[in-house]
Structure 1
């Protein structure tokens, strides 16, 4: 797989940082992420845990959904996952590449598809998801929580 330097994520997601995901492309309804599977990602079969693949797919599709708002201040609204369906085809090992694609959107919803490919380019997992565009998220006590945007670099 061709190695290109990663981009900065447009928002700070501590969970994604902990998993070691890298953003490699973003725009026009598409996003590509990569992760090099390490021991902390493994299941009892010593291959990538399904939760890692689902998180990779979720983040790739969410960024694809947001990518159409790149021209807006702060990259426009954030997204929250409403539902997601994932199918696993084969064990995932080594460096993985996830591609998310925006299939359709309205003012408030985004419908996406994602794929995780192994180092050999073979399909490891596939997902579809629905996201809701939000400007803020109600938290505990119904206080609105703002999206944690990256500082300009």
Structure 2
């Protein structure tokens, strides 16, 4: 497992990842785990975490699950993301887990889920299809890099 990206918390104000403010806590071939403290900016009116936040975590977890050994050479795009919301989210701490189910040369499939860290309750699930393409400038960060 690499530790290079485990302390990623955003902070560069580069993109959507920074607004979410997740931290990568585990990453190895075919698997990623992200954790996030829910902030007021993540909530809709009332006390629920906005569904768009959950979808973002599901998408990013699925996307990153297949980039462990390729992140310097490729970019990824989400082709399809089918999402199921299973419970209202009142949690203060969330985890998003992404796992590759099948990978080809240019397309891969991944399942992801968001859980309440305190209760281990599954709050949302997703099945995604992602496209891999070579970076135009290998080794240089792209907008889709974590």
Name 1:143's counterpart in structure 2.
none
Please report the RMSD computed on the Cα atoms of aligned residues, expressed in angstroms.
Answer: 2.3
Following superposition, which runs of at least 4 residues in structure 1 exceed 3 angstroms of deviation?
none
* TM-score of the superposed pair, with normalisation by structure 2: 0.81
The answer on whether the counterparts of 1:34 and 1:95 sit within 8 Å (CA) in structure 2 is yes
Name 1:65's counterpart in structure 2.
66
Larger Rg: 1
2:38 paired with 1:41: no
C-alpha distance in 1, partners of 2:48/2:66?
29
Tell me the matched-pair count: 132
Name 1:103's counterpart in structure 2.
101
Per-residue CA deviations over 1:6-41 (Å, capped at 9, x if unaligned) read: 4338xx852111221111111110000011111111
Name 2:8's counterpart in structure 1.
8
The answer on whether the counterparts of 2:64 and 2:98 sit within 8 Å (CA) in structure 1 is yes
The answer on whether the counterparts of 2:7 and 2:25 sit within 8 Å (CA) in structure 1 is yes
Q: Specify whether residues 50 and 149 from structure 1 end up closer, same or farther in structure 2 by C-alpha distance, changes over 3 A only.
A: closer
* TM-score of the superposed pair, with normalisation by structure 1: 0.77
The answer on whether the counterparts of 2:75 and 2:142 sit within 8 Å (CA) in structure 1 is yes
Instruction: Give the gaps of 5 or more residues in structure 1.
Output: 1-5, 138-145
C-alpha distance in 1, partners of 2:41/2:144?
27
Cα deviation for residue 136 of structure 1 reads 4.1
Cα deviation for residue 149 of structure 1 reads 8.3
Name 2:18's counterpart in structure 1.
17
